[in-house]
Amino acid sequence: MCESCVDRIFSSGPAPCPIAGCKRTLRKARFRKQTFEDLAIEREVDIRKRVMAILNNREDEFETKRDWDNFLEQREEIIMDLVLRLNVAKREKELEKHAAAHVEAIKANEALERKEAEEFRQHHQFNQERARLRQDALKHEDEEDRKEKEFEKNDITNRLASGKTSVDDIVRENKARHKPGGPRSKGGKAQEDNVSDSTVPFIKGLKQRKAPEPEKPYDPFMGMYIHRDYFELQVDYPAQRLGKSKKDTRTLAGGYDFSSFYDESLVKAFAGLGCFIEDEVSIKESQTSHEGSPTEVRHSSLGNTDTLKSSDDVF
pLDDT tens track for 131-161: 999 999 999 999 988 888 888 888 777 777 7
* Residue (of 243, 245, 244, 238) closest to 262 by Cα position: 238
141 forms beta bridges with none
Enter the pTM of the model.
0.41
- Report the pLDDT averaged over residues 102-123: 90
DSSP label at 298?
B
Q: What is the DSSP string of 169-191?
A: HHHHHHHHHT-TT-HHHHHHHHH
- Report the pLDDT averaged over residues 191-211: 51
CA angle 259, 265, 268 (to 5 degrees): 140
* Residue (of 203, 205, 198, 197) closest to 119 by Cα position: 203
Rounded Cα distance between 33 and 208, Å, is 44
Rounded Cα distance between 231 and 271, Å, is 11
Q: Read off the pLDDT of residues 32-43 as tens digits, 9 standing for 90 and up.
A: 777 777 888 888
Rounded Cα distance between 138 and 131, Å, is 11
Cβ atoms of residues 37 and 94 within 8 Å: no
How many helices (H) and strands (E) the chain has is answered by 11, 2
Which one is predicted more confidently, 133 or 287?
Answer: 133
